[in-house]
Amino acid sequence: MLAVFLGHQWKAFWRSRNKGSSIAANIFIGLAILYLLVLAIGIGVGMEMIIEKVFPGKDTIFVFNGFILYYFAVDFIMRMQLQELPTLSVAPYLHLKISRDKLVNFLNIRSSFTAFNILPLFIFIPFCCTAIAAIHSVFAAFMYVVTILSICIFNNYVVMYVKRLTTLSIKAILLVVLAISVVAAMEYFKIFSISAVSNAVFGFIALYPISGFTFTIAAILVLMLNKAYLKRNMYLEELNTAEVKKMSTDYPFLDRFGSVGVLTALELKLILRHKRTRTMVFMTLFFLFYGLIFYRQDLIDQDRINTIIFAAVFMTGTSISMYGQFMFGWQAAHFDGLMANKINLKDFITSKLLFFTAISSIVMLITCLYGLISWKILYIQLATYLYNIGIGTIIILYFATRNSKAIDLNKRGTFNNQGVGASQFIMVIPYFVLPYVFYLPFSYYGHPYWGISCLGLAGIIFLSTRNFWITFLVKELNKRKYKIGEGFRER
C-alpha cells in the first residue's frame, strides 16, 4: 500500500498545473539540502581535527560525547519551528475502504524522510567509525551509531506528537514552552549541564555498549504513542483543517502550511510581480558581500568582533530589516480587503514570520561560505541568525504595527523614500543595539564568545516561545488595524 500512496503522490505532482514552479522550488530545495550534506560530510570527516583546533589540549572523545546531546537539543527546537505535519496528504483516502493503520503507517514513514534525520548521520558516523572504533571497539562504535539514529527517530516523533497536541490544546503549548524555557534557564545559570549529561550517557555507552538500546526502546515507544494518537484523532484533525476553504497555492511546497502557506504564497507573488519589491530582493543579494569588508582577519585574530557582530546581524537579517521595515505598507492597496476577508490574524502574522525565517535561512546558508575565512565567523553568524529569526522578526513586526504609510509598488525601487516614516528610524535602534546588550557585558570581562553564545541562546528562547509573541503581535495589530487602514487610504 505504501507504493500505491507514493505513486499517487508522484502522479499528483506531475499532473499539477503548477508543476513548473514546483520543479524549480524542489530543485532549489534539493541544492540547499545537498549543500548542507556537503557541509555535514566535511564536519564529520574533519571532526577530530576541528575539535583539536577549537578545544586544544582537551580529549577529543570527551568533547565529542558532550556535543551530541547539545546538537539534538538544538535539533529539537529547530524541528518545532520548521518540521511540518504530513496530515493533508492522506485527505483523499479518508472516505475510502482503507484501514487507518495503513494511513498512519504512511504518515509516519513519510515524516521520517527529512533532512533533520539525514544530516546527523553524516556529521556523527564518520567520527564513530574512526575515533570511537579505534579507542573503544567496533561494537561500541556501532552502538554509538544505533543510539544517534534512535535519538533522531525519537526527536522526529516527539515533535510530531507535541505539534499535534498543540494544534488542539493551548495548555500543551504552554507546557512545551515552559519545559524548554526551564531547561534553557537551568543550562544558562549552570544549574544543569546538557554537556555533562551527554558525557555521562555516552561515556556509559562506551563502557557498556548494549545500553544504547535504551534509546532504541524509547524511540519505538514514542513511535507507538504517535501511531495511537493518530488513529484516535485522524478524523478530528481532518475536520479542523477542512474548515479552511482554500488550501492550495501556486507554490505546492507551501501547501503543507495550510492557510499560512496561502498567505506566504501571496507575499511571494507580491514580491516577484512589482518593481520596488524586486529591487529590494536584488539589494539583499548585493549586501551579502558586506562580509568582504567587515570580516577582516586582524579583527578575528584579536577577537575584536564589535563591528563583525553588526555585519553579521545585517547580513543574516538583511531581508528582515529591509523588506520588513515597510510591512504592512507593501499590502496597502489591498489591506482593507485582507481585513474584511475571513482571515485569521494569527495566520496572517505567522505567514510573515514563516517568510522571514525561510529567507533568512537561505541567506544564512549562502553566507556560511564566510566560514572558510574562520570558524569564528560561522559561530557569530549562527548566533546572529538565531537572533534575527527569534528576536529580530518580533521587533520588525511590532514596529510594522506602527506604520500607516502606503507604498506604491509600481514606482521605482531606488532613491524612493515613499513609505518612510518615524517608525523606520526608531526601529533601527532596538534592532541593531539589542545584540550588543547581550554581548558587551561578557566582552567587558574578557569573554566575547560567551556573549555571542548568550545572543544565540536568547534567539532560541524567543523561537521556543514564538506562539506567545505571535499572540502579542496579533493584539497589537488588532488595536491599530483601523488606524493603519485609514493611513493607507490617504494617497
Angle between the N-to-C axes of helices 448-464 and 375-387, in degrees from 0 to 180, rounded to the nearest 10: 40
pLDDT score of 150: 93
Coil, strand or helix: which one is 217?
helix
Cβ atoms 472, 350 nearer than 8 A:
no
Query: Which of 471, 268, 263 has the alpha carbon at shortest distance from 348?
Result: 263
Instruction: Give the separation between CA 278 and CA 413, rounded to whole angstroms.
Output: 8
Q: What is the pTM assigned to this prediction?
A: 0.51
Cβ atoms 75, 157 nearer than 8 A:
no
DSSP 334-397: GHHHHHHS---HHHHHHHHHHHHHHHHHHHHHHHGGGGGT-HHHHHHHHHHHHHIIIIIHHHHH
The torsion angles phi and psi of 471, rounded to 5 degrees, stand at -60, -40
- The whole-angstrom distance between residue 305's C-alpha and the CA centroid of its chain comes to 25
Instruction: Tell whether omega for the bond before 204 is within 30 degrees of 0, i.e. cis.
Output: no
Cβ neighbours of 453 (radius 10 Å): 17
pLDDT score of 217: 94
DSSP 57-93: TS-HHHHHHHHHHHHHHHHHHHHHHHPPP--GGGGGG
- The whole-angstrom distance between residue 3's C-alpha and the CA centroid of its chain comes to 31
Please list the pLDDT of the chain residue by residue as tens digits (491 residues).
Answer: 656 666 666 566 555 544 454 566 567 667 777 887 888 888 888 888 888 888 888 888 888 888 888 888 888 877 776 676 665 455 666 656 677 777 777 777 777 778 788 888 888 888 888 888 888 888 999 999 999 999 999 988 888 887 777 655 555 555 666 676 677 667 666 777 788 888 889 989 989 999 999 999 999 999 998 888 877 766 544 434 434 444 444 555 566 666 777 777 777 777 777 767 766 776 777 777 777 777 877 777 777 777 788 888 888 887 777 777 777 777 767 676 666 666 777 888 888 888 888 888 888 888 888 877 788 888 888 888 899 888 888 888 888 887 777 776 666 544 445 555 555 667 778 888 888 888 888 888 778 888 888 888 888 888 888 888 888 888 888 887 777 777 776 65
Helix, strand, coil: what percent of the chain each, to 5? 80, 0, 20
Instruction: Give the separation between CA 180 and CA 74, rounded to whole angstroms.
Output: 11
Q: What are the distances in angstroms from CA 385 to CA 132, 158, 223, 368, 393?
A: 33, 25, 32, 11, 11
Instruction: Give the separation between CA 30 and CA 345, rounded to whole angstroms.
Output: 32
Lookup: cell for 64? 565529542
Instruction: Give the separation between CA 343 and CA 334, rounded to whole angstroms.
Output: 13
For the chain, give every domain's residue range.
2-6+18-242, 252-488
Residue found under cell 505546492: 252
- Which region holds residue 401: left if phi is over 0, alpha if psi is between -120 and 50, else beta? alpha
Query: Which of 385, 380, 389, 395 has the alpha carbon at shortest distance from 434?
Result: 395
Instruction: Give the separation between CA 485 and CA 468, rounded to whole angstroms.
Output: 25
pLDDT score of 420: 55
DSSP 8-state assignment for residue 252 = G
